[in-house]
Amino acid sequence: MPTQLENAMDTLIKIFHHYSGKEGDKYKLNKGELKQLLTSELTDFLSCQKDPQLVDKIMKDMDINKDNEVDFNEFVILVAALTVACNDFLEEQLKKGNW
């Protein structure tokens, strides 16, 4: 039976392919697919953001090899960066004794 960590890794792979498989290259997210993934799967994160250009900016930042598509490696880097930001915030609050 998979562990929680193995399940989390599996979830990242499944979510990526759920959106990347919708159109065009099955193994890459185009801008429309990325927007759908971000708005459906990072709802709380995006709801705090007021910048209408946010998806364009994220696309530009994530698309390291500049092919206007996001592959799995590029996607995992975004998820890792967001998770580190959440953890930094949590550790800061714990150190301040807020939680």
Does 23 bind a second copy (CB under 8 A)? Our answer is no
Gyration radius from the chain CA atoms = 15
* Cβ proximity of 18 and 12 under 8 Å: no
* Cβ proximity of 59 and 34 under 8 Å: yes
Site for a second copy in 37-66 (CB under 8 A): 40-45
Which is nearer to a second copy, 9 or 32 (by Cβ)?
Answer: 9
- Which of 25, 64, 90, 93 touches a second copy by CB under 8 A? 90
Q: State the minimum distance, in angstroms, from the CB of residue 26 to a second copy.
A: 8
